[in-house]
Structure 1
Amino acid sequence: MIYEETYHYLLKHVSSTEFDACLYSLLHSDWDGVIQSPLHAMASSLGTSEKYLKQIIRKFTSPKGDLPQVFVPVQQDGDALYKFNLGPTSNLGFNRKTDRYCKKYRFFYHEAFKGLTISAKRLLLMAAYRMSVSKSEEVMFDYHEFVSDSTSLFTRQRLFEAMDAIYEAGLGDLVTIAFTSKAFSKKEVMMFTFKEGTLGEYRENRGERAGLRRTIFNAGFPGHISDAVCMELERVGKYIFRSFLKDAKKAEAPSDTQKELLTLARFVYSQALKKFGKALRANKPLLTEPKQASAYLSTIVYNETLEQMAKYAHQAESIKSLLDREHFHKEISEKALGREVNYMEVNQHIEPIRLKFQQADFIYSILNGWCEEWLISRVKTATETIETEEEMTAPTTNPVPTRTDSEYIIALRNDTYDQLDKLLALIGKFGNAAVSPSNQQYTLTRKKETIQSYFAIQRDRLDAFAASPS
């Protein structure tokens, strides 16, 4: 989307090539806004040299005055990339009722549009933005919206020159521009009438898909990943971002906590894709079975999230143990201030630590809930399949659970136990020495007991179903 912040920047602060560079970035950014395109590909698309593109990047990364930083340098899997920093990123979603934006219409990326003057590009952008907001291919502007005083984007002459440039570029079949007047006020207005169907002719962002393929390639699998498989893998990724943030937004968690969850969602997804890429050599049939590929990735994501849950649980317990040492904080405060302090002052001193504990504990609860929902969903699907197939069994036979789904539940249970045992061992070996071993392992031990009880209930349910007469 071309959000309002981007729209206003394009109208006032860029040259013609910089305008195209921003539109290119929007088309090739992943869900975090990171541009997933090499510089040579961007330069080629813009019809310019890499040398000039680097000058644009220097301007965008080093803004002057009150201008925003358009490009923010980032490191991703060892590669130096840039994040497009105008407007919200897609992983935050948008409110269709309140957010104003312009779609990335196809004509923005045609050679005829790229060859326009900056004034002509701005004129078409203004019309396209209003078309997108109003959802009408016929839009009207009061003349003073273009020409009002010396600070306006256009003079009357520049406005007519922009119109001429649009027609000379052969874009008259895309849009017609006409001057007219309002029936009652006689004020001059401009009418833009776009070709029928233009509202639905826009480009889809493929930046996330490019990043997905690059991550899998860097993990050691050089083969091609089809669009069908990519779409299924992306569905897993979208679910991670949305579900991690869902409860945080519902609880109105602080923005820094929501940002931490977004960073964590990206980490979990990226780590899972790397492991998926490493596993592909021995599981090439996944490349022809998109649904199986997404199920395989989802299981990796579950294990990754389980590990992160354990880390945040341990982090929260470590911070809590520090908070509980009131005399320790009192001594530090008195030493720093050179005088006696009361516990109210101590509480002020440790407030940042308390906030850090609340964040870690909250994120742990989000991840814990996510893991429970994932596990219950998978077991529920498998047990429903077993029960459905058993009901179809001949009435003279004693139904027996299908081997595939029963084995899936057992494998899921055993894999979860193994994962928890590994995490318990790691915490026991590398955990915070200031936290007692029982407290270090309490959360995961309780988690394992809960899962054991859940699987026992499911096993009893299936056994009872299998033993009941048809």
Structure 2
Amino acid sequence: MIYEETYHYLLRNVSSTEFDTCLYSLLHSDWDGVIQSPLHMMASGVGTTEKYLKQIIKKFTSPQGCLQKVFVPVGQGGDVLYKFNLGPTSNLGFNSKTDRYCKKYRFFYSEAFKNLTIHAKRLLLMGAFRMSVTKSEEVLFDYSEIVPDSSSLFTRQRLLDAIDTVHKTLGNLVTISFASKAFSKKEAVVFTFNEGMLEQYMENRAERAFLRRTIFNMGFLGHISDSVCMELERVGRYIFRSFLQDAKKSGISMDIQHELLKLARFVYTYSLKKLGLALPANKHLLAAPKQASAYLSTIIYNETLEQMAKYSHRAESIKSLLDRDHFHKSISEKALGREVNYLEVDQHIEPIRVKLKQADFIHNVLNNWCEEWLISRVKTVTEESEAEGIRKKSSDNKRTASEFITDLRNDTYDKLDRLMTLIRKFGNHAVPPSSQNSSLTKKKATIQSYFAIQKERLDVLSVSSS
């Protein structure tokens, strides 16, 4: 989407090629706003040379007065890519029901549009933005909205020239005319786009390209169909959305939200890599999109469980550090070269409290996600089992469901035991042994109780069916 912040920036601060560079960036940005396109492809897509594109990137990555940077360099897989920094990403902050935006209409990416003057591009963007907001292919502007005064971007002559250029180049798509308002008699500018233009927009395929490239880089050279990609992307979107939903509801700091976003991206990418390694021996998944997404979901669950254990241990380590009052007092006195009071020690440890809050919050998010995943997976199996049992009046499916739950339980126990062993062996030995795995021990007890209830329920159903 072309968000309102981006819209205003394009109207006032860019040249014609910079305008096209921003539009290209929006079409090729992933869920985090990172432009998934190497320099040579970006230059070709914008319609310029790599040399000139580098000049644009230099401008966009530099502070522009009171304006924020348009591009922010990010490292990804050993390459330097750029994050488009205007407006919220789809993962963080944007609400399609309340925020104003313009769709990426197809004509924005045509050669005809690229050849327009900057004023013609700005005028068309104004019309397209209002069309997108009002969901009407005929939109009206007061003349004063476009030419408010003599110092504005548009003068009357520039407006007339822009209209003439649009008609000569894209007159088959839109007509721009002057009119007079019936009651106020004020002059107005009317855009009449072709019928159906509202639905003629470009789909962003950056995440799909990222997905295929990640799996390809793990050595799997087979084709992954769009239907399989869509199912895998659905799982990926769920990770980002569910990791952030509690953070948004609680009004937690943006630092923690950004940390959760980074964690979601790591878990998703790492899981895609593991899927890529597994695909050569599991090619049947490529013919069954739902099975492929379930397979990826299981990999994601295992990785999230591991990350939950890490954040649990991190929180215990930070808490152990906080509890050493004499340690903080001596460090503060050494740094200041004098005795310190309680308030000064308290100020010294405040950043540590912030770190503890972050680790605790993220651990709880991951813990809740793992529990919800288990509950959802078991619920799906038991409900399908019950429905199948009613139709067939057989207990065979109950035994199958019971076996599935048993396998899932044992697999989860094994992972938790392995994680607790690793923490005992390689974890922070400053943390008391009784605290090192306290949260994982509680989690295992909770899971044991849950699985026992579900197993008993299926056993009862199996007896009643027979």
TM over 0.5: yes
Quick check: 2:398–2:461 contact (8 Å CA) kept in 1? no
Rounded to whole Å, the distance in 1 between the matches of 2:335 and 2:428 is: 26
User: Residue in 2 aligned with 1:411?
Assistant: 407
1:401: Cα distance to partner? 4.0
Q: Please give the secondary structure, in 2, of the residue aligned with 1:122.
A: helix
Which of 436, 450, 453 is 1:457 aligned to?
453
Quick check: 1:102–1:129 contact (8 Å CA) kept in 2? yes
User: Residue in 1 aligned with 2:375?
Assistant: 376
1:8: Cα distance to partner? 1.1
User: Residue in 2 aligned with 1:74?
Assistant: 74
User: Residue in 1 aligned with 2:440?
Assistant: 444
1:403: Cα distance to partner? 5.0
User: Residue in 1 aligned with 2:246?
Assistant: 247
**Letter of the structure 2 residue corresponding to residue 13 of structure 1:** N
**Letter of the structure 1 residue corresponding to residue 89 of structure 2:** T
Quick check: 2:416–2:440 contact (8 Å CA) kept in 1? yes
User: Residue in 1 aligned with 2:386?
Assistant: 387
Question: After superposition, where does 1:7-26 map in structure 2 within 5 Å?
Answer: 7-26=7-26
Rounded to whole Å, the distance in 2 between the matches of 1:73 and 1:417 is: 42
Question: After superposition, where does 1:25-424 map in structure 2 within 5 Å?
Answer: 25-92=25-92, 94-169=94-169, 171-394=170-393, 399-402=395-398, 404-424=400-420
Quick check: 1:382–1:406 contact (8 Å CA) kept in 2? no
Q: Please give the secondary structure, in 1, of the residue aligned with 2:73.
A: strand
Quick check: 1:241–1:265 contact (8 Å CA) kept in 2? yes
**Letter of the structure 1 residue corresponding to residue 341 of structure 2:** N
Rounded to whole Å, the distance in 1 between the matches of 2:46 and 2:272 is: 31
The alignment of Structure 1 onto Structure 2 pairs a total of residues equal to: 466
Rounded to whole Å, the distance in 2 between the matches of 1:436 and 1:321 is: 8
Alignment RMSD: 1.6
Rounded to whole Å, the distance in 2 between the matches of 1:436 and 1:275 is: 35
Rounded to whole Å, the distance in 2 between the matches of 1:135 and 1:145 is: 19
Rounded to whole Å, the distance in 2 between the matches of 1:6 and 1:284 is: 43
Query: Using a 3 Å threshold, how does the CA distance of structure 1 residues 230 and 97 change in structure 2: closer, same or farther?
Result: closer
Quick check: 2:137–2:193 contact (8 Å CA) kept in 1? yes
Give the unaligned 5+ runs of structure 2.
Answer: none
Rounded to whole Å, the distance in 2 between the matches of 1:126 and 1:349 is: 52
CA displacement 1:376-413 (0-9 Å, x = unmatched): 1101111222223333344xx7x344554333222211
1:334: Cα distance to partner? 2.5
Rounded to whole Å, the distance in 2 between the matches of 1:151 and 1:244 is: 48
Give the unaligned 5+ runs of structure 1.
Answer: none
**Letter of the structure 1 residue corresponding to residue 248 of structure 2:** K
CA displacement 1:83-137 (0-9 Å, x = unmatched): 1111111112522343111111111112211111111000100111111112221
Query: Using a 3 Å threshold, how does the CA distance of structure 1 residues 335 and 266 change in structure 2: closer, same or farther?
Result: same
Quick check: 1:77–1:215 contact (8 Å CA) kept in 2? no
User: Residue in 1 aligned with 2:423?
Assistant: 427
Rounded to whole Å, the distance in 1 between the matches of 2:465 and 2:68 is: 71
Percent identical residues: 74
**Letter of the structure 2 residue corresponding to residue 238 of structure 1:** R
Rounded to whole Å, the distance in 2 between the matches of 1:385 and 1:133 is: 43
- 4+ runs deviating over 6 angstroms: none
**Letter of the structure 2 residue corresponding to residue 421 of structure 1:** D
**Letter of the structure 2 residue corresponding to residue 73 of structure 1:** P
Quick check: 1:137–1:199 contact (8 Å CA) kept in 2? yes
Greater displacement, 431-440 / 324-333: 324-333
